[in-house]
């Protein structure tokens, strides 16, 4: 028992190691559970936020009935989905039909093994981090194709073919943008780059610049290519053809219902979070706080470290603001009291985050999540604004616009990078 506690504590003494890097199985398990739970909560929150934000963009209120401001609506939906009959069409290929959603969910969740929420806050740090993420997330294509084919119906099949063609073609542009970042990571003293997610962020820290600003506008162009490709990769509006409701009813998951359908839903949202975290890690400095050059110094570090606590306090304040007017109906009274309780919990979390050791540990997670949340808002915004591309136009954008742009970007980045390296060497020689 004593050894076990020692084993647990041994990891806490290491400051800059991920549990995987330390080889500590206990903490790796804890981290896996934490990421899993956090991701599920994020998907639930995203579900509610998407409905609310989209509704307010469209001059309506969105869910209002279940819980105060519909806060419990996602839970109600989840219960409904779990209780629904799980239909497998009689002509479907049952085994594949059964496996497909799990395949999609697995690939969407597995990528979070290497997502760096902080220098030590990742399940593990792989030498092939970004390659792993791209590779595993591309496996969801297989699940989608399986789902579409196994349904043995026209609409799902077309949806599956569309979506796999779309994902495969946008992966190319995505990969090129990613490679341009990997070239940027190699612009250090020993000239060795890295595919590791943590190392990429550390390079941005070392070079004193987020890669979105590197070699302006090259970094920005790469980011834009990735930002477009990642929307297509996750089959979201305006590239949501595979599930274009008005054309293909629901695309590859037309025949799915209940629990299995909700797995697809879960996978879609966690894939959105996954690609957003790639974008954040590669271009937006991962867990680094904003304005590191402009507002530097320990004072500013302290100020920025208060942000997580303040955010939670802000949410708590919103909750309390909504409880000021107490409704008469007893049911709504309970709801409002529940909201107040939620506000108290949020406030306590916020206060806890001002406590020194906690503050140090959550700062990086907070900034990472905040940046990912900004991307999530973008996704919702796109959905509220854009019509849908047609399939040939989508392919045109992917192959004729983004791919040449990506190639040119890659060559230019390599060229500019070599020039700066040469320049550094010349300087070195001159100094000698």
Partner 1 sequence: MTDPNTLSPLDLDTPDKTFLDANELVINMGPQHPATHGVLRVILRLDGEKVMGLECVIGYLHRGVEKIAENRTYTMFNPYVDRMDYVAAVSNGLGYCEAVEKLLNVEAPARAQYIRVILTELNRIASHQLWLGTHALDIGAITPLFYTFRDREEILKIFEKYCGARLTTHAFRIGGLQYESYDGFEKDVRNFVNFVKPKIDEYEELLTTNRIWLERTKGVGVISGPDAIALGVTGPVLRASGVKWDIRKALPYANYKNFDFEIPTGQSGDTYDRYLVRMVEMRQSLRIVEQAVEGIPEGPIMAKVPKVIKPAVGEIYHSIEAPKGELGYFIVSDGSTQPYRIRVRPPSFVNLQALDVMCRGQLVADVIAVIGTLDIVLGEVDR
Partner 2 sequence: MNPPVATPFFFYLLSGIMLIGGVLVITRKNAVHSALALITTLLAQAALYLMLYAPFVAGVQIILYAGGIMVLFLFVIMLISIERTMKERQFNKQWLVGMIAAASLGGLFISVYTTSTKGQVLFPEGRMAYGEAQNTQMIAALLFDRSTGMYMFAFEIASLLLLVAIIGAVVMSKKRI
Residues of the shown chain interacting with partner 1 in the complex, contacts defined by CB under 8 A: 54, 57-60, 154-155, 158, 237-238, 240-241, 244-247, 249, 383-393
Q: Tell me: does residue 262 bind partner 2 (CB under 8 A).
A: no
326 binds, among partner 2, partner 1, none (CB under 5 to 8 A by kind): none
**From the list 1, 59, 189, 192, which residue makes contact with partner 2 (rule: CB under 8 A)?**
192
274 within 8 A of 115, measured Cβ to Cβ: yes
C-alpha closest to that of 398 among 162, 62, 87, 45:
162
134 within 8 A of 227, measured Cβ to Cβ: no
**C-alpha span between 250 and 235 (Å, rounded):** 12
**From the list 39, 113, 146, 225, which residue makes contact with partner 2 (rule: CB under 8 A)?**
146
Q: Tell me: does residue 195 bind partner 2 (CB under 8 A).
A: yes
23, 24, 27, 31 alpha-carbon torsion, rounded to 10°: 10
112 within 8 A of 283, measured Cβ to Cβ: no
CA distances from 110 to 104, 275, 409 (A): 10, 13, 30
- Of 150 and 353, nearer to partner 2 (C-beta) is 150
At closest approach, how far in Å is the CB of 293 from partner 2? 29
1 binds, among partner 2, partner 1, none (CB under 5 to 8 A by kind): none
238 binds, among partner 1, partner 2, none (CB under 5 to 8 A by kind): partner 1
Q: Tell me: does residue 126 bind partner 2 (CB under 8 A).
A: yes
DSSP 198-254: HHHHHHHHHTTS-TTTTTTTHHHHHHHHHHHHHHHHTT-TTS-GGG-HHHHTTGGGT
145 binds, among partner 2, partner 1, none (CB under 5 to 8 A by kind): partner 2
388 binds, among partner 1, partner 2, none (CB under 5 to 8 A by kind): partner 1
- Of 188 and 249, nearer to partner 1 (C-beta) is 249
**C-alpha span between 11 and 307 (Å, rounded):** 27
Q: Tell me: does residue 134 bind partner 2 (CB under 8 A).
A: yes
**C-alpha span between 244 and 163 (Å, rounded):** 11
Q: Would you tell me which residues interact with partner 2 (CB under 8 A)?
A: 22-23, 25, 93, 95-96, 99, 126-128, 131-132, 134-136, 138-139, 141-142, 145-146, 149, 157, 161, 164-165, 168, 171, 192-195
């Amino acid at each position: 028992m004593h050894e076990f506690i020692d084993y647990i504590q041994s990891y806490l003494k290491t400051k800059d190691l991920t549990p995987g890097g330390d080889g500590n199985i206990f903490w790796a398990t804890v981290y896996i559970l934490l990421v899993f739970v956090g991701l599920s909560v994020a998907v639930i929150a995203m579900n509610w936020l998407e409905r609310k934000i989209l509704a307010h963009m469209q001059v309506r209120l969105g869910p209002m009935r279940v819980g105060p401001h519909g806060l419990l609506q996602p839970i109600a939906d989840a219960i409904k989905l779990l209780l629904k009959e799980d239909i497998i069409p009689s002509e479907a290929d049952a085994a594949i039909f059964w496996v497909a959603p799990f395949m999609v969910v697995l690939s969407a969740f597995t990528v979070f093994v290497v997502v760096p929420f902080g220098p030590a806050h990742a399940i593990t740090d792989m030498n092939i981090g970004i390659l792993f993420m791209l590779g595993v997330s591309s496996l969801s294509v297989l699940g989608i194709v399986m789902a579409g084919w196994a349904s043995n119906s026209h609409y799902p099949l077309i949806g599956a073919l569309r979506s796999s063609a779309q994902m495969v073609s946008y992966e190319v542009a995505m990969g090129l943008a990613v490679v341009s970042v990997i070239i940027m990571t190699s612009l250090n003293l020993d000239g060795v780059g890295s595919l590791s997610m943590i190392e990429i962020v550390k390079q941005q820290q070392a070079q004193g610049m987020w890669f979105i600003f590197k070699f302006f506008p090259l970094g920005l162009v790469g980011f834009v290519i990735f930002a477009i490709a990642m929307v297509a990769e996750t089959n979201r509006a305006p590239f949501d053809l595979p599930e274009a409701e008005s054309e293909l009813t629901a695309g590859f998951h037309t025949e799915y219902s209940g629990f299995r359908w909700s797995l697809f839903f879960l996978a879609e949202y966690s894939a959105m979070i996954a690609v957003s975290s790639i974008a954040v890690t590669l271009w937006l400095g991962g867990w680094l706080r904003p304005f590191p050059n402009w507002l530097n110094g320990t004072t500013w570090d302290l100020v920025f470290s208060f942000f997580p606590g303040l955010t939670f306090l802000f949410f708590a304040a919103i909750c309390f603001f909504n409880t000021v007017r107490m409704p008469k109906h007893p049911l709504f009274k309970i709801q409002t009291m529940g909201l107040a309780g939620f506000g108290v919990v949020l406030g306590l979390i916020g206060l806890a985050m001002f406590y020194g050791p906690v503050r140090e540990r959550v700062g990086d997670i907070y900034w990472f999540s905040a940046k990912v949340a900004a991307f999530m808002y973008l996704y919702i915004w796109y959905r509220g604004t854009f019509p849908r591309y047609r399939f040939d136009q989508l392919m045109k954008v992917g192959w004729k616009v983004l791919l040449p742009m990506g190639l040119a970007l890659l060559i230019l980045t390599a060229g500019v990078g070599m020039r700066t390296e040469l320049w550094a060497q010349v300087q070195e020689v001159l100094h000698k």
